[in-house]
Chain A
């Protein structure tokens, strides 16, 4: 059987966590320092769980898949947003500062409510295929054909895991709370590309043709550079900007 080994690599990590429990009236945001022996192949997932199990059971953070695919564990790691579960401590200095993703509602310590934000974004941008007659679909019939290359192109944009790193990395989003972020703009390009979605550019313009949408983007490219999934966000936003500018 597969066993998870514990093998010490000999470095002592100083992990500073920005802690705050908004449910606790006595809590004030502050950095708390934990010391931890580094182990081989240690990720921040392993490190934080060890801290919680051995040092401070009240420490809050979110992990789900711990394999870099679900987008739960976005946090600020030494100043930059990233997925904690696949960040190896060996790639970090002795001193590690962890903070919750900004721009999202804080639940406690490193846990933020990205789910609520993303649901709001989805509702606002209507991120689903808009087709007439979906409820009367004939599921016995052979599916509509689609060009293989187009399907792959759509998947390329669908790989977004809504982790929120692009929003946290965005100077615009930091200044303007209503900005839909690269995550929202990318989803618009994904549905615009999809022939199953019957919306026109004018309809997309209604959704993102303003300062909180594509014209709010200042092209700082933090999203592109911090995206854990390496999505082509810069080119997608540029594409959308051209289309939306041409739509009026």
Chain B
């Protein structure tokens, strides 16, 4: 070819999908780690310290958490900017899409709208969460988190974020699969049905998991409310303290 190709559109599409994929993997991982509270405060404590690098460096560096927060924040920003290219650009386009969606009653089209709405919601919810994490990276732990959730009333934000992020991530993962996966045409209908089923199962699973953890944090936060602000001391250190 004489003229060089405009690589922009291909790269933008790949980057949007890639950032989406990383964020999906991140949030699913995140869910397992945060739900360590279900295994007990010590488990959660251990996880939080692990992320602060204690097992490697011998002492915790909360700034590591801030660093991850910044990376995630960047991914979200890139993902959002790329995704916004696809949003309706004018009120007329928005109207067109809306009437199209309500007339067609087509599930996958409606799911895209769900992603737009949840994406928009996360613009605020996830940002708020991330700002807290980045600015107060040491404020993560069995009591610290619980206090923030209960005494700091963050449970409202987390409940909304939980629903948004899992709808968005689950649907996004399904859409990513349909967008890129090499599925043989002959079995594409069956495969798509399976992907769709998997999507709903994953969403349901993470919503249950997330709700259970959130409720647990709230319970701990409520019990701990009189001592809000005090940090959790893990059982093995409690033993040491008591013996001293």
| A interface residues (Cβ-Cβ under 8 A, vs B) | 76, 79-80, 102, 156, 169, 171-172, 174-176, 200, 202-203, 205-206, 209-211, 213, 215-216, 218-222, 225-226, 232, 234-236, 238-239, 241-242, 244-245, 247-248
Additional 13 contacts, C-beta under 8 A, given A175-B89, A209-B10, A234-B192 = A169-B104, A171-B109, A174-B97, A205-B5, A210-B6, A211-B85, A215-B10, A219-B108, A220-B106, A221-B192, A238-B178, A238-B183, A248-B5
Q: Quick one: closest A residue to B186, CB to CB?
A: A232
Given A171-B100, A225-B108, A238-B181, A210 contacting B9 (CB threshold 8 A)? yes
A-B contact number at CB 8 A: 105
Set of chain A residues within 8 Å of B97, measured between Cβ atoms: 171, 174-175
Cβ contact of B183, chosen from A102, A209, A219, A235, cutoff 8 A: A235
CA distance A172 to B100 in the complex (A): 10
Q: Does B179 contact A (CB under 8 A)?
A: yes
Given A174-B100, A247-B10, A241 contacting B179 (CB threshold 8 A)? yes
Q: Quick one: closest B residue to A217, CB to CB?
A: B179
Q: Does B7 contact A (CB under 8 A)?
A: yes
With most chain B CB atoms within 10 A of its CB, the pick from A209, A220, A225, A232 is A220
Q: Does B96 contact A (CB under 8 A)?
A: yes
CA distance A176 to B108 in the complex (A): 18
Contact B1–A200 (Cβ < 8 Å): yes
| B interface residues (Cβ-Cβ under 8 A, vs A) | 1, 3, 5-7, 9-14, 85-86, 88-89, 93, 96-97, 100-101, 103-106, 108-109, 112, 175, 178-185, 188, 192
Q: Smallest CB–CB gap between B84 and chain A, Å?
A: 12
Contact A206–B108 (Cβ < 8 Å): no
Contact B182–A242 (Cβ < 8 Å): yes
Q: Quick one: closest B residue to A213, CB to CB?
A: B9
Contact A222–B108 (Cβ < 8 Å): yes
Set of chain A residues within 8 Å of B89, measured between Cβ atoms: 175
Cβ contact of A235, chosen from B7, B13, B104, B188, cutoff 8 A: B188
CA distance A205 to B185 in the complex (A): 22
Q: Quick one: closest A residue to B105, CB to CB?
A: A79
Q: Smallest CB–CB gap between B196 and chain A, Å?
A: 10
Given A220-B109, A225-B106, A238-B178, A209 contacting B5 (CB threshold 8 A)? yes
Contact A245–B13 (Cβ < 8 Å): yes
Set of chain B residues within 8 Å of A244, measured between Cβ atoms: 10
Contact B96–A174 (Cβ < 8 Å): yes
Q: Quick one: closest B residue to A208, CB to CB?
A: B9
Q: Smallest CB–CB gap between B63 and chain A, Å?
A: 37
Q: Quick one: closest A residue to B103, CB to CB?
A: A79
CA distance A235 to B178 in the complex (A): 8
Contact A222–B104 (Cβ < 8 Å): yes
Set of chain B residues within 8 Å of A80, measured between Cβ atoms: 103-106
CA distance A121 to B181 in the complex (A): 27
Set of chain B residues within 8 Å of A176, measured between Cβ atoms: 93
CA distance A175 to B9 in the complex (A): 18
Q: Smallest CB–CB gap between B172 and chain A, Å?
A: 10
Q: Quick one: closest A residue to B89, CB to CB?
A: A175
CA distance A156 to B6 in the complex (A): 31
CA distance A79 to B178 in the complex (A): 25
CA distance A247 to B14 in the complex (A): 12
> Could you list 29 A-B pairs, sorted by A, with CB under 8 Å?
A79-B105, A102-B96, A171-B101, A171-B109, A172-B86, A174-B96, A174-B97, A174-B100, A175-B93, A175-B96, A176-B93, A202-B1, A205-B5, A206-B3, A209-B9, A210-B6, A211-B85, A213-B9, A215-B12, A219-B179, A220-B108, A220-B109, A232-B185, A234-B188, A235-B184, A235-B188, A238-B179, A238-B183, A241-B179
